[in-house]
Structure 1
Amino acid sequence: MDALFTVPTPENEPVNGYAPGSPERESLQKKLAELAGTQLELDLHVSGEWRRGAGEEIQVVQPHRRAHVLGTTREATAAEWADAVAAAKAARHDWTRTDFADRAAIFLRAAELISGPYRDVLNGATMLGQSKTAAQAEIDAACELIDFLRFNVSFAEWLYRRQPNSSKGLWNRTDHRPLDGFVLAITPFNFTAIAGNLPTAPALMGNTVVWKPSPTQQFAAHFVMKVLLEAGLPPGVINMVTGYGEHSETALLDPDLGGIHFTGSTRTFQHLWQTVGANIAGYRTYPRLVGETGGKDFIIAHPSADLQQLAVAMVRGAYEYQGQKCSALSRTYVPASLWRGGLKDAVVGMTEDISYGDVADFDNFGGAVIDGRSFAKHTALFDRLRDDPKATVVTGGTADDSEGFFVQPTLIEATDPEHEMFVDEYFGPINAVYVYEDADFDAVIAQAGEIAPYALTGAVFATDRAAIARASEALRFAAGNYYINDKPTGAVVGQQPFGGARGSGTNDKAGSWQNLVRWVSPRSIKENFVPPTEYRYPHQG
């Protein structure tokens, strides 16, 4: 076809509210019952085929009803990892030569499938497997994943259209090639949208991918893979391996590794980076390393802040999805005048009103933390705090795993701004408050911006514009996503590209062209229409 196609203009997917009596609520509840009533074989998918893994069996359970098994997956063996790598390499020839319009159509169709027939499936699977409420699943598994797919296509078209200038008699062009090798995508438990975006973004740009989801997200990941296949993804373009990654070195050490797309812990990403660095001479090219990792995200309130707005931001920012967002609020700095003037009572009142329970009960605000390991980390913290003279549990500080991995929303007041509560990431429903004297605002923003090793998200609350300006300048490098009078969570694709620096990752901004440019290797092409015929230059007379 002789045409320069223009892709559809993307718009953010409307968010359903699931209010009582709404048709979407009834439809989702039916799907929840259906999904909970069956156990699935959560298999690998390699070279266009579903395979039952040969490794150790892993049960995938509902975190809020931990005795309820949703399905079983298996730890991928070294041989199965090798098969996935081989499949990605074999598919690369044809996929890199597939027209952008044909690649884009696959992912645009996937977005439509999620918006329509798969919406309840992905939302329900995310609710059951990751213990998200209907509201949290909707903005994640449906809307954000749809937005990633649609906006990435538009960003890719914009990128491909970036072309150089040409002098008289020349035609300069840029070939935005895929990477010279396959991409390894490693995705976390907490966002189905991230699990979908990390393999599809490189694939859209012409790369082939080996994708390893988190076992605790495998239930929803299974359906993401089904959507991509139904949308027309060719065999071998995205190959899904299962398990904890026991044999991931099979891919990590392969000479044709072209890049890693990662979201997860800082420690794991540093291990991946160290592994690549230690073996750098063994690769055909320098692998691209793109990672979004941990956060110790903050709100700093000025004495001029609106008390009620601040209180709601503290509660929602810290306790939505049980604090299991890399952007979740976990440290708050408040002036004494606000804290003693009603803020403490307002936050405690809302926090104690929160109900965590079975997410199939739509009255609950949240569910459980993801697994026993996470639960144990939080209970160990609570044990330490009981004898800590510098930290007081204001409310919460309890946990119960008799039915599910439930950790109560916890508010802690600490008197030392260098306490571990303001430095370490816990990834749970825990918010530490430091109360400062009103006159110390500038000193607080300076200290808070440097104390933690992370730089992911942060917010300032104030109505005093001069204070906002001072804070924004002082905190310029403290957060990759910075909010003024809003909670530090909830970035929207196409509106607030997401990512942080320092210990929070490479800041390659998922949900923007800046991420996609990491998955191409440009080739500059110069064509001379009138090549010279004389070797001498004019200055030679």
Structure 2
Amino acid sequence: MSKLINDSGLSFNEKLLSGALINGKWLPGSAGRFTAYDPHTGKALHEVGRCNGSDVDEAVEAAKKAFSSWSQTSVQTRAKILRKMHELFKDRAEVMAQMVTKEVGKPIMAAREETFEYSGPSYSKAAEEILRYRGSSLPSTQEKTTNKRLVLTHRPLGVVAVISPFNFPTDISSIAIAHAAAAGNTIVWKPTEYCPVACAMVAELFEEAGFPPGVINLIQGFGDVGAHLVRNEDVKGVFFTGSTKTGEDIARANPLRPMLLELGGDGPQIVLEDADIDRAVQAAVIGAFYYSGQVCTSSERVFVHEAVYDEFVTKFKAATAALKVGDPSDPSNDMGPLCNPAVLERAQTHVEDMRSKGAIIDQYGPQEGLYFPATIVTGLTREMIKGKGESFAPLALVLKIASAEEAVEIANESELGLVASLWSKDLAKAWRIAEALPHGSVNINETSNYWDQLAPFGGAGKSGVGRELSHWFLDSFTEPKLIVFDLGGPEDDRRIEGGW
């Protein structure tokens, strides 16, 4: 049955508040309930079942039992189910987008982009990837023989833990779930506690799409649930997107298990003296203030050559002042609130730290409740931003630089290295600088908040381990398996004589 819950304004099946989907059944969480709030109004939206360690273990056991048959299911069958998921997603994408906006304060246009363009298509993309995921036949090089045949295949890991964040709650989780399941793994998914119902809406589609019970399981709750999940010995692989600190904790708990960790980032966007300033300014607005800066690819640090610094800052402030900030459900607004008090507190702390060091703070927009203004910080020195880390807020630290070499030096001082943005009309110079930057991706004459859904995504340093999207995700959650045949025939010459 469908029911209107509190003042959310959205109708959904009340079972989605249960707290767990285990072995195809919606079950109440064993640790009581928790409340999800609307970041725009601060009001309670709904109460959701909260899971504990026993629920986690039950979900892992269900996934473990389902693995045997699911891993033996033909790739054609898996692809058909994944395509069906995409079709079902299209019908629910709008209400999911509205729920994402309600639960995490994401502007509705960005939420629609997430559900329509990213989340749903992830399942079809995974279907096509698994149909085209190839092994290989290797030559025999160790002995002088024609009898050997070396075949490289891939096998699924088993139970994969998926722990997903609040900023792209249906997208990042769908990428992981779709590709892990496509490869033949089974899944236990712990979504963010800030967006429980939108994520449960995704889980509601699994049965109708044709996933057998236990293949994908959902457990709601807080960090203790995720911590218990990654420590369960029957979990054979871990996908996590979130903070660097939590990623480090997961890595310590899983020293011998495959992991894909997509963690924090802090830009930078580098604007050189020959850049197209108007385009670079627009890229900085998107890079720093898209979804109120709550994006790991945000260009939080902006390094601008001294020759164009004044022009850039003047135009950047004007463009930022023109942003519309308010109710995220209003399509005309560019920015909404921050997701939760912890993000707000970190933003306030970082800004006050810059202010105390003598930086100039310009802010545009309201500062009340969970709303934090778009903030441009100038008058900075290199030492002020060293080791600052990720703010995950609408914050742009604009630093004057004397050369591209200086920009690369400063970029290398950060422990984070996810995405950098570089602006120059000299593509030969841009190529060399991109090679010198310690980042998983470098976007030339493009905002840092650009990514391609069929290209590898991931960071260097403390920004993560591994690469997601497309076949890179399949590589992360399968194990290469070499099968060696000796076909018999002429007597082997077993003397070691490599073919190299």
CA distance 1:96–1:274, change in 2 (3 Å)? same
Question: Are 1:503 and 2:478 counterparts?
Answer: no
Offset of residue 163 of structure 1: 4.1
Question: After the TM superposition, which residues 432-511 of structure 1 pair with which residues of structure 2 at under 5 Å, given as runs?
Answer: 432-436=397-401, 440-475=402-437, 478-494=438-454, 496-506=455-465, 508-511=466-469
Question: Are 1:48 and 2:24 counterparts?
Answer: yes
Indicate the SS of the match to 2:34. strand
Aligned partner of 1:493: which letter?
A: Q
Counterpart residue number, 1:242: 220
Offset of residue 96 of structure 1: 1.2
Offset of residue 378 of structure 1: 1.7
Q: Is the 2:120–2:174 Cα contact (8 Å) retained in structure 1? A: no
CA distance 1:215–1:535, change in 2 (3 Å)? closer
Counterpart residue number, 1:157: 131
Question: After the TM superposition, which residues 169-318 of structure 1 pair with which residues of structure 2 at under 5 Å, given as runs?
Answer: 171-179=149-157, 181-191=158-168, 192-277=170-255, 286-318=256-288
Aligned partner of 1:371: which letter?
A: N
Counterpart residue number, 2:478: 520
Distance 2:88 2:472 in 1: 26
Q: Is the 1:36–1:128 Cα contact (8 Å) retained in structure 2? A: no
**Aligned mate of 1:323, from 293, 308, 315:** 293
Indicate the SS of the match to 1:523. strand
Offset of residue 424 of structure 1: 1.4
Offset of residue 409 of structure 1: 0.5
Distance 1:109 1:99 in 2: 16
Distance 1:455 1:538 in 2: 48
Q: Is the 2:162–2:176 Cα contact (8 Å) retained in structure 1? A: yes
Q: Is the 1:190–1:217 Cα contact (8 Å) retained in structure 2? A: no
Q: Is the 1:199–1:261 Cα contact (8 Å) retained in structure 2? A: no
Question: After the TM superposition, which residues 313-392 of structure 1 pair with which residues of structure 2 at under 5 Å, given as runs?
Answer: 313-340=283-310, 342-389=311-358, 391-392=359-360
Counterpart residue number, 2:86: 111
Offset of residue 473 of structure 1: 3.1
1:405-447: CA deviations, max 9, x gaps?
A: 11110000142113237731010100000013xxx21332232
Indicate the SS of the match to 1:206. coil
Distance 1:338 1:442 in 2: 13
Offset of residue 352 of structure 1: 1.3
Q: Is the 2:296–2:392 Cα contact (8 Å) retained in structure 1? A: yes
1:184-233: CA deviations, max 9, x gaps?
A: 11111111210222233212111111110010121211111112222111
Indicate the SS of the match to 2:123. helix
Offset of residue 77 of structure 1: 1.5
Distance 1:173 1:465 in 2: 42
Distance 2:392 2:481 in 1: 42
Counterpart residue number, 2:3: none
Distance 1:196 1:175 in 2: 25
* Further displaced range: 138-147 or 234-243: 138-147
Counterpart residue number, 2:119: 145
Q: Is the 2:57–2:232 Cα contact (8 Å) retained in structure 1? A: no
Q: Is the 1:382–1:398 Cα contact (8 Å) retained in structure 2? A: no
Question: Are 1:62 and 2:38 counterparts?
Answer: yes
Q: Is the 1:423–1:453 Cα contact (8 Å) retained in structure 2? A: no
Distance 1:446 1:510 in 2: 26
Indicate the SS of the match to 1:374. helix
Offset of residue 55 of structure 1: 0.9
Offset of residue 105 of structure 1: 1.2
- Paired residue total: 484
Q: Is the 2:260–2:468 Cα contact (8 Å) retained in structure 1? A: no
Offset of residue 382 of structure 1: 3.2
TM-score by length of 2: 0.90
Distance 1:242 1:111 in 2: 23
Question: Are 1:125 and 2:99 counterparts?
Answer: yes
**Quick one: percent identity of the two aligned structures?**
25
Counterpart residue number, 1:14: none
Aligned partner of 2:464: which letter?
A: G
Offset of residue 313 of structure 1: 0.7
Aligned partner of 2:276: which letter?
A: D
Q: Is the 2:18–2:27 Cα contact (8 Å) retained in structure 1? A: no
Distance 1:434 1:188 in 2: 30
TM-score by length of 1: 0.84
* Further displaced range: 84-93 or 142-151: 142-151
Aligned partner of 1:317: which letter?
A: G
Q: Is the 2:19–2:26 Cα contact (8 Å) retained in structure 1? A: yes
Counterpart residue number, 1:18: none
Q: Is the 1:159–1:517 Cα contact (8 Å) retained in structure 2? A: no
Aligned partner of 1:124: which letter?
A: Q
Counterpart residue number, 1:412: 377
Aligned partner of 1:141: which letter?
A: T
Offset of residue 380 of structure 1: 2.5
CA distance 1:522–1:387, change in 2 (3 Å)? closer
Q: Is the 2:52–2:221 Cα contact (8 Å) retained in structure 1? A: no
CA distance 1:148–1:137, change in 2 (3 Å)? same
Offset of residue 330 of structure 1: 0.1
Distance 1:452 1:406 in 2: 28
Distance 1:55 1:396 in 2: 42
Distance 1:537 1:349 in 2: 75
CA distance 1:185–1:395, change in 2 (3 Å)? same
